[in-house]
Amino acid sequence: KRKNPVGEENPNYDFCNFLLELAEYEKNVSRNMHKFSAYKKAAATLGEHPTRIKSGDEARKLKGIGDKISKKIDEFLATGKLKKLENIHNDPKTEAINILTKVTGIGPAKALSLYNQGFRTIEELQKNPESLTHHQKIGLKYYEDFEKKIPRQEIQEIEKRLKDLIQSIDSLYKITICGSYRRGKSESGDVDTLITHPNWTSDKVNKKDKNPMLKKIINALTVADLIIDTLSLGETKFMGACRLDSEHPVRRLDIRLTPYDQYYCSILYFTGSDVFNKTMRAHAVEQGFTLNEYTLRPLGSTGVPGEPIEITSEEDIFDFIDYPYKKPEDRNA
């Protein structure tokens, strides 16, 4: 089972899925992040392609697909499989690492160390969780639920409860669900929530005073029994577990509190996709800007970023870096 299997309604779903599987292998087992990005990009490109690819040569003409991947497409078309993938499937170390990294908080390095200690399965971890962090233990506790995708309608219900509860603390809070949900996906892996407040701006962030806003919010959501566990909680970021009620699975909830003047850069970042963000940031650099989840800043001739540009909408960011505007639904690649 892969993280993002592409459905059979996509004309190139089988290519996408073997590329995504190779990407996961590079990320989790080989630890080659260049290859990981290359496979992911190629899968995204093929996933967006409207017609069935008929040869490696045809694929090679598309963005992000070079000789090696086009040869794999030819091999797959000719034999219905890939030797490289067959070998990966028969490798017990790969299998164990793939299983262990499905637990939130267990990355490839921890998985490798667990593997070297003899762990192979989730059940073995559940019996001996001593070496795990709090985050990893919670990940293990809700392992099965966290594997399940969240239907759009359930996110809408969670959104409504979040808004009601947070705005009853202060009606000026502005709440936006981002991530794959905002990109219009019919189901999502988690609930990515962005919160801002007009009285909280970036000039107040670097002050020494602790900002209690997020902790208050998390406390209220916990008292209301919407949040049922915390993986981590800082001044601007929360990661945890939520549940509509006992009839529903436990869901991963991410919350970010962002200064009002950084809201649009934050929304852009948190909407993704991760591949889209990378592409857009690279374009920004080509245009002489640096873009991150906080600000858009011009790069001086020495490459030093200047003062943040004032942004009043997501479209502004696209305009400044001369990148054609894309609606969230068109940011899936």
Q: Which of 190, 229, 261, 314 binds Mg ion (CB under 5 A)?
A: 190
- Beta carbon of residue 303, minimum distance to ligand DCP (angstroms, whole number): 22
- Beta carbon of residue 180, minimum distance to Mg ion (angstroms, whole number): 5
Q: Give me the catalytic one of 27, 72, 110, 185.
A: 72
Among residues 225, 238, 241, the alpha carbon closest in space to that of 144 is found at 241
Number of residues that bind Mg ion (CB under 5 A): 3
Indicate whether 179 belongs to the interface with Mg ion (CB under 5 A). Answer: yes
Indicate whether 21 belongs to the interface with Mg ion (CB under 5 A). Answer: no
Between 179 and 240, whose beta carbon lies closer to Mg ion?
Answer: 179
Contacts of 28 (CB under 8 A, 6+ apart): 94, 97, 98, 101, 108, 111
Among residues 34, 35, 32, 19, the alpha carbon closest in space to that of 70 is found at 19
Per partner kind, with CB cut-offs from 5 to 8 A, the member of ligand DCP, Mg ion, Mn ion, none near residue 272 is ligand DCP
- Beta carbon of residue 59, minimum distance to Mn ion (angstroms, whole number): 31
Among residues 263, 265, 298, the alpha carbon closest in space to that of 284 is found at 298
- Beta carbon of residue 237, minimum distance to Mn ion (angstroms, whole number): 11
Contacts of 117 (CB under 8 A, 6+ apart): 131
AA letter at 77? L
Kindly report whether the peptide bond that precedes residue 301 is cis, defined as omega within 30 degrees of 0. no
| Residues forming the site for ligand DCP (CB under 6 A) | 179-180, 188-190, 192, 269-270, 272-274, 277
Per partner kind, with CB cut-offs from 5 to 8 A, the member of ligand DCP, Mg ion, Mn ion, none near residue 26 is none
Kind plus residue range of the DSSP H or E element containing 283: helix 274-286
Q: Which of 192, 229, 261, 314 binds Mn ion (CB under 5 A)?
A: 192
* Distance, CA of 187 to CA of 4 (rounded, Å): 11
List the Cα angle 161/167/173 in 5-degree steps: 120
Between 101 and 188, whose beta carbon lies closer to Mg ion?
Answer: 188
- Beta carbon of residue 182, minimum distance to ligand DCP (angstroms, whole number): 8
Q: Are 166 and 257 in contact (CB under 8 A)?
A: no
Between 99 and 191, whose beta carbon lies closer to Mn ion?
Answer: 191
Per partner kind, with CB cut-offs from 5 to 8 A, the member of Mg ion, ligand DCP, Mn ion, none near residue 277 is ligand DCP
Beta strands 237-242 and 227-233 are antiparallel
Q: Is 204 a catalytic residue?
A: no
What angle in degrees, to the nearest 10, is found between the helix axes of 33-48 and 67-79?
60
Write the interaction track for Mg ion spanning residues 262-301; mark x where CB under 5 A is met and - where it is not. Answer: ----------------------------------------
Give the residue nearest to ligand DCP (CB): 272
Q: Which of 21, 24, 26, 192 binds Mg ion (CB under 5 A)?
A: 192
User: From its phi and psi, is residue 272 left (phi > 0), alpha (psi between -120 and 50) or beta?
Assistant: left
- Beta carbon of residue 241, minimum distance to Mn ion (angstroms, whole number): 13
Give the residue nearest to Mn ion (CB): 254
Positions marked active-site: 72
